[in-house]
Amino acid sequence: MIREFGTGDIVYLVFAARWTLALTALAFTGGACVGLVLAVMRISSLAPLRILASCYIQIVQGTPLLVWLFLFYFGLSIAGLPVNAWTAAAFAYSIYGGAFLGEIWRGALIAVAPTQWEAGASLGLTYVQQMRHIIMPQAVRIATPPTIGFLVQLIKNTSLAATIGFVELTREGQLTSASTYKPFAVYMTVACIYFLICFPLTQWSRRLEERFNVAR
Amino acid sequence: MKYGLQFRDVFAAWEFLLDGLVLTLALSVATMVLGFFLGLACACAKTYGGVRFKRGVTVYIETIRNTPLLVQIFLLYFGLPSLGLRLEGFEAALIALVINLGAYSTEIIRAGLEAIPKSQIEAGQSLGLTPWQIFRYIIVFPALKAMYPALSSQFILLMLATSVVSQISVQDLFHVGSIIQSRTFRDFEVYTVIGGIYLALAFMMRGVFAVIYRQVFAR
């Protein structure tokens, strides 16, 4: 039976967006953990660590996210874990997000003047203390606008999880479109919801960037 | 039971994989060329055009950059027929990708155009050059050089993003992978091979872009 595309469906789609947000939160948390380790490895004084991190980033940034999603979706069963869209998505997005955040944060870390490290060292601070009290606070300021920019990228890319059957906004759109047979109205609504989530973040990122450029 | 990886079935379908590879390459190259010119037109409109042009281009860029590519493709492929316009899978994919790349490259190209110091343009004017001559001899080359790194990485991201068109049954590399997977059930092996091919493509593009840069700009 074909039903009408009405207010109820729109409300339903809006509610499906919470799974997009939940997946984004999960992806960002996982990606941030991986990215932080990678960024610190990339600026390490030990060459093997630098090379390892750089290889990881080259490989992940050179393969489509879709491949990672499918690899984990099917690979989990080989590793003896139950096949589950949540787990597969969590792994795939952490790996993908880590590569991009690692690169962004490395840029922020090396943008802090090297004399800042030396100043910390001359005060007798250890590496961890220098990082924690001197470098990080300055790097965070530099890294915030591009990190928000990548967050927008991540929100949009969670739509790809629909392909492994993860029910978020795009998948809910596919289901609604199949039952109401109003694809144009449905996907327009879906696009609008994404826009309403992403646009304020884009604007925020831009404002922060402008403010940062003025301060410098 | 222990799972043993078997790549034989995947490589047996190498001709099929090659077809997919060719389609992915064709789609990427066509999108790069068309998307670049769309971006160039929009960037010129935004930099040199009137207020109405600027506003129109801004609305276009913000709309595209704040919605997922997958939804844009679905809208063109599944949505447009209900408005009476039916597109083939490849057409819908190409149009969606060009519109998408156009929006991203506009900002990159605009930054390149704005990197030209105003004094150079004024120097051209004082020599009596026409606006076209100024564009041709003073702006284009340094602007291309300034935008080249960002634009080439955007092109590589685009090539990887073309894998999304598999979702509307365009037989690109990724879709071919899904078909082989459904025939052989060697899922993990298939996607490892597909991922490897994409990686090789990405490295190849990076190499080609580096050579072009050295040949054209680094002199």
CATH code assigned at B44: 1.10.3720.10
pLDDT digits (tens, 9 = 90+) for B128-144: 999 889 888 888 888 99
Q: Is the pLDDT of residue A66 over 70?
A: yes
Residue B2 in domain: no
DSSP letter at A199 equals H
Tokens read off for B131? 């606006």
Of B3, B74, B198, the CB nearest to A67: B198
Residue A74 pLDDT exceeds 60: yes
| CA atoms in the 13 A half-sphere facing the CB of A57 | 23
Chain pair A-B, CB pairs under 8 angstroms: 110
Tell me whether B67 touches chain A (CB under 8 Å): yes
Distance CA A181, CA A173 (A): 11
Contacts of B64 (CB under 8 A, 6+ apart): B72, B99, B100, B102, B103, B104
Judged by CB atoms closer than 8 Å, whether chains meet at A170 and B174 is answered as: no
Cα–Cα dist A108/A102, whole Å:
10
Residue A76's nearest CA partner among A89, A66, A63 is: A89
Alpha-carbon distances of B199 from A5, A37, B32, B167, rounded to whole Å = 42, 23, 18, 20
* Rounded Cα distance, B5 and A212, in Å: 51
In a domain, B3, yes or no: no
The torsion angles phi and psi of A101, rounded to 5 degrees, stand at -65, -35
Residues 6+ apart with CB under 8 A from A41: A49, A50, A52, A53
Q: Which residue of B has its CA nearest to A151?
A: B66
B17, B27, B65, B66: best to mutate for the A interface, most A CBs within 10 A: B66
User: Is B215 near chain A, with CB under 8 Å?
Assistant: no
Going from the C-alpha of B143 to that of each of B116, B117, B130, the distances in angstroms are 7, 10, 18
* Separation of alpha carbons B160 and A67, rounded Å: 10
User: Residue A1 pLDDT more than 80?
Assistant: no
B1 is a domain residue: no
Domain count, chain B: 1
Q: Specify if B119 maps to a domain.
A: yes
Counting runs of H as helices and runs of E as strands, what totals does chain B give? 10, 0
CB contact under 8 A, A159 and B192: no
Distance from CA of A128 to the nearest CA of B (A): 34
Residues B10-40 pLDDT 10s = 787 888 899 999 999 999 999 999 999 999 9
Quick one: chain B helix, strand, coil %, rounded to 5? Answer: 85, 0, 15
Neighbours of B83 (CB within 10 A): 9
Q: Which positions in chain B touch A64 (Cβ < 8 Å)?
A: 160-161, 163-164, 174, 195, 198
Task: Name the residue among A173, A156, A138, A130 with its Cα closest to residue A12.
Answer: A173
Tell me the average pLDDT across B159-185: 92
Give CA–CA dist B177/B189, Å, rounded.
Answer: 10
Q: What is the pLDDT of residue B116?
A: 87
Q: What confidence score (pLDDT) does residue B129 get?
A: 92
Question: B146 Cβ partners below 8 Å, 6+ apart?
Answer: B111, B112, B115
Q: Which of A23, A55, A67, A81 should be substituted to probe chain B, the one whose Cβ sees the most B Cβ atoms within 10 Å?
A: A67
| Inter-chain touch B188–A184, beta carbons under 8 Å | no
In chain A the domains, ranked by start, together with CATH numbers, are: 7-215 (1.10.3720.10)
Give B157 to chain A, closest Cα distance, Å.
8
**Structure ipTM:** 0.90
Distance CA B106, CA A146 (A): 18
pLDDT, one tens digit per residue, over A36-61 is 999 999 999 999 999 999 999 999 99
Q: What percentage of chain B has pLDDT greater than the value 70?
A: 98
> What pLDDT shows up at residue B2?
61
What is the structure's pLDDT at B203? 96
The domain in which residue B15 lies consists of 8-216
